[in-house]
Amino acid sequence: MRSLFLILLFVLTTLSVSSQRVIRTENIKKEFLEYNAVITENQVNYVFDIVSDSLSVVQQDEKKVLILNNHALAFTNDYIYYNSFSRVENIEAYSLVPKARGNRYTKLKVEHFKESHDRDNSVFYNDTKTMQFAYPSVGEGVVTSLGYTTVYQNPRFIGQGFFQSFIPVVSSKVVVKVHKDIKIGYKLFNEDGFDLSFEQYTKGKYTYYEWEAKDVLPYRYVNSRHFGVRHHSPHISLYVDEVTINGHVKKYYSTVDNLYWFYQDLLKDMENDASDEMVLVVNEITEGRSDRDKAKAILYWVQNNIRYVAYVDGYKGFVPASPAEVFSKRFGDCKGMSVLIQKMMELADLPAYLSWVGTRSIPYSYHECPLPAVDNHMVVATILGDTTFILDGTFNHLDFGMYPYNIHGKEVLIGLDEQEYRIFEVPVAPASMSMVYDSVAISLDGNSLIGRGKREHSGFNKMELAYALAGVKEDDYNKRFSVLFGKGNNKFRVENYEVENIFESDKPTIVHYDFQLDDYAIVMDDEIYVNLNLSRTYQNMKVDTARQFSPVLNDFFFTEKHITKLEIPKGYEVSFIPQNDTIHYDDFSISFTYNQFDDFVICEKEIVFEFLGIFEDKLPDWNAMIDRLSTNYRLSVVLSKTNNP
């Protein structure tokens, strides 16, 4: 395999090839039948230099791709991403198209580039820009080539270098050239088990660092909401530690201290005023309350009255609007909502500290990566007694005292004052805190089921239900419940309902509902078959590990309990009840219990998920659990007429 890769690389470094090499290229294509293309060269060059008595940081990217077959549509369009902290120059993109005769290529340049702002449905404004273009005449045997330069206007925001891609890479290289008066640092991630060579040498007044990986297989995992290539793919983060210019040393950062002081420096010019109306509101909602209840009232007021609008634009992505502005306009991003909460807490004589945190989409701890890439969110921390509470105004319907699930297990950088901070690790809420309890009593009407149910949601499950009903007219709740509580088949419908505490804090949501499920039971001669597993969740979640796949991700630990109580119709008796079964692994378990009491058969199913992610090492257990789960879901209670032996 290594020799084949090297042959391919050699072929792509020249525009004129012999007929013998063309034959070898065809042989290489046979070796890579499962792929549509191969990256032959992927190189990122960083230059840290001193130009006109100033620090200069420039990045050069080069990439060449060989198209192996006519399934080339996915490789026609390409993109360059950048933001207000950098600019892109010297873009050169072209296709090398094999000529019909001979062993030469025609070079077709890309002529049109379209710049646009990167669109993100969760962000009102994002300063990330996209340069989009299309390679001409892409098809089998074509080589696409891209090269461009990124000039960093602020060396604190240097892009990361990656060695892997979604298709194989023959050679992936990161080269760093550093002036002797510049001290840099670097952090390597996910390099364990990865064949990565390293070389360091000096030429004149520059030191060079080179990392290279060869024959790199594609990503094993597919990106998803809380999980991306930074969690598993080898990559490097570079940073400037210090620079000496004309005998003067300027520190940038290499420690958490440096990062924290940078954040504090950005906040120093923020106005921290409070309007008279804000003071009146705080007094009104906190009067006569304990400190805990004051903090709770302030959090709920912000959740209910301030609309979350994400805004990312250069330094505005780090510097919040003033609390008075957010209060007046009634909207803000995570930073704006946090400074408002902090100010209102201050007016109520409560401790409150602006804090930074990276959500679970970011894999780093602060000591692993003390760079702006480590976090993407701002919250408020308050310490009442021995407990550290995290207040996040961006989460509607989140009860006070619950840590937002998107930062479970993550570190929070709590700013105590201008110089001092504390790192707090957010605990993962136990499965008992977030529950769905669904108990139904059913009876038969021919082959249809008539039922009455009680469903209770607590914790994050309650929050999810509130989000699902937000904006829905109350007259349409039955339609929404029919989807959310779906049972049996697509003929399930909720007909009547009563709801308690749907948008109220600190109380579980309870829904009483009547339902009908048509054409469900199987009636055969003198027997009736009824599957009491009306809710068959997760049975289609088996993971095929033979190809790229997403790990099994879970927003939060939770417990589900489903109880189905079937009334035995007159003239029938139970002739078969499925056996009890418990499927138990360290991070997830499911149990099925059947009992008969008087004229009823009861099935109890309990699901406990205590994981945030299931990865390759535990996927065999997960798939075994899904198989057992599916087997149990196929089992039915059998009712026979009493006069039938």
Give DSSP secondary structure letters for 133-191: EE-TT--TT-EEEEEEEEEESSTTSPPPEE---SS-EEEEEEEEEEETTEEEEEEEES-
The pLDDT of residue 435: 97
The pLDDT of residue 546: 82
Distance CA 557, CA 405 (A): 9
Q: Are 322 and 316 in contact (CB under 8 A)?
A: no
pLDDT digits (tens, 9 = 90+) for 245-270: 999 998 887 899 999 999 999 898 88
The pLDDT of residue 645: 52
Of 472, 503, 555, nearest to 303 by C-alpha is 503
- Within 178-286, residue ranges assigned H as helices are 229-232, 256-267, 276-286
Distance CA 358, CA 378 (A): 8
Distance CA 21, CA 98 (A): 13
Phi and psi based region of residue 617 (left: phi greater than 0; alpha: psi -120 to 50; beta: remaining): alpha
| 259-425 belongs to CATH 3.40.630.30 | no
Tokens at 494, concatenated: 């909720």
The pLDDT of residue 519: 94
Of 288, 165, 312, nearest to 234 by C-alpha is 165
The pLDDT of residue 644: 53
The pLDDT of residue 584: 95
The pLDDT of residue 85: 79
65 in helix, strand or coil? strand
Positions of the chain with pLDDT under 50: 1-24, 119-126, 313-314
Distance CA 163, CA 271 (A): 44
Query: pTM, whole model, 2 decimals?
Result: 0.88
Distance CA 559, CA 609 (A): 7
Token pair 């001290």 is at which residue?
183
Q: Are 377 and 356 in contact (CB under 8 A)?
A: yes
258 in helix, strand or coil? helix
* Domain 432-641 -> CATH class: mainly beta
The pLDDT of residue 120: 46
Distance CA 392, CA 407 (A): 11
Residues 6+ apart with CB under 8 A from 563: 438, 439, 440, 602, 603, 604, 605
By DSSP bridging, strand 435-445 and strand 558-567 are parallel
Greatest extent of the chain over all pairs of C-alpha atoms, in Å: 104
CA angle 202/205/209 to nearest 5° reads 35
| 2-251 belongs to CATH 2.60.40.3140 | yes
Distance CA 142, CA 72 (A): 9
Domain boundaries, the chain: 2-251, 259-425, 432-641
Q: Are 138 and 78 in contact (CB under 8 A)?
A: no
